[in-house]
């Protein structure tokens, strides 16, 4: 495969999600025309300086899958290398405790640091063949809509159906429709330019995460796109954690720094 040194990074953390992460990484790599580099980080003090750079380089070349260090720090460093075009991580699905604000585990620690999209994979997606029906949760800002569409570039085809779901942290749905119209117009223009078909829009206020999961089932979606501010506080942050803790399909988590209220 002529991949120009580009690759999909698969963060391996053992069962139960390892097989699903490897499978999803291979699927994404096939769509993007690149290779896969897998890494398993053994927790430890790790290396520094030139020794650390050399160890990271061995992983990016595909010479080894193992490295010692702080998992979230090492994976973030590898995901930020020029050759990494997508990072795939397994998500631990344990019920969130009432009042919990921060998600635990290596994957969420990486997500809170990352300035790039991450694909989160639940343990049982062995038959996933790539996005065919994509549910994008939008919050009423053009920047959020464009970020979602941009992150999907290269992963979709002319057969992909995109389904927007506008979410708003408001008990009054009518008050959110102005932002919704602007949001969907920006999103539709961007996804349309990629040749992606779209279905009708829906608006939902609270509870956000539960409704996203419900719509995934109702629409038979096989990928969820969530744009977030890297904050797990508030209703939008809680929605991200709720979706990741129970999703049956991969979730593309797209970070964006904006004054608007994104998840």
pLDDT tens-digit profile of 239-252?
A: 899 999 999 999 99
The burial class, CB within 10 Å (0-12 / 13-18 / 19+), for 116 is: middle
CA dist 129 and 96 (Å) reads: 29
Return the higher-pLDDT residue of 97 and 1: 97
Residue with tokens 């040749």: 195
The domain 7-119 having CATH identifier 3.40.50.620: the answer here is yes
Q: pLDDT band at 175, cuts 50/70/90?
A: very low
Q: pLDDT band at 180, cuts 50/70/90?
A: very low
pLDDT of 7-25, one tens digit each? 999 999 878 889 999 999 9
CA dist 191 and 153 (Å) reads: 9
Q: Where in the chain is the domain with CATH 3.40.50.620?
A: 7-119, 133-255
Under DSSP, the state recorded for 221 is -
Task: Record the tokens describing residue 246, joined without a space.
Answer: 């129970």
Contacts of 51 (CB under 8 A, 6+ apart): none
Return the higher-pLDDT residue of 247 and 190: 247
CA dist 1 and 33 (Å) reads: 7
Phi, psi of 260 (to 5 degrees): -70, 160
- pTM beyond 0.95: no
- H-run or E-run covering 68: strand 66-69
Tell me how far the alpha carbon of residue 8 is from its chain's centroid: 13
Spatial CA neighbour of 68 closest among 87, 88, 54, 85 = 54
For the chain, percent of residues with pLDDT exceeding 70:
76
pLDDT at 80 over 80: yes
Tell me the fold of 133-255. Answer: Rossmann fold (3.40.50)
Spatial CA neighbour of 83 closest among 67, 64, 61, 68 = 61
Contact 250, 122 (CB under 8 A): yes
Q: Let me know how long the chain is.
A: 263
């Amino acid at each position: 495969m002529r991949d120009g040194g580009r690759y999909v990074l698969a963060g391996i953390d053992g069962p139960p999600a390892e097989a699903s992460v490897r499978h999803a990484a291979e699927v994404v790599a096939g769509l993007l025309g690149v290779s896969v580099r897998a890494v398993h980080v053994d927790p430890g003090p790790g290396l520094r300086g030139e020794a650390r750079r050399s160890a990271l380089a061995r992983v990016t070349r595909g010479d080894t899958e193992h490295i010692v260090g702080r998992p979230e720090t090492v994976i973030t460093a590898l995901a930020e290398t020029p050759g990494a075009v997508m990072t795939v991580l397994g998500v631990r699905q344990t019920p969130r405790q009432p009042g919990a604000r921060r998600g635990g585990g290596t994957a969420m620690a990486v997500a809170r640091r990352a300035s790039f999209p991450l694909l989160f994979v639940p343990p049982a997606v062995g038959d996933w063949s790539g996005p065919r029906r994509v549910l994008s949760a939008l919050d009423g800002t053009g920047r959020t809509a464009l970020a979602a569409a941009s992150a999907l570039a290269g992963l979709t085809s002319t057969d992909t159906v995109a389904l927007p779901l506008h979410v708003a942290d408001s008990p009054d749905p009518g008050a959110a429709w102005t932002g919704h119209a602007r949001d969907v117009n920006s999103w539709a223009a961007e996804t349309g330019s990629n040749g992606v078909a779209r279905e009708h829009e829906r608006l939902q206020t609270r509870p956000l995460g539960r409704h996203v999961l419900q719509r995934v089932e109702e629409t038979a979606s096989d990928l969820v796109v969530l744009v977030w501010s890297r904050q797990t506080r508030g209703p939008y942050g809680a929605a991200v954690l709720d979706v990741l803790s129970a999703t049956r399909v991969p979730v593309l988590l797209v970070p964006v720094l904006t004054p608007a209220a994104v998840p």
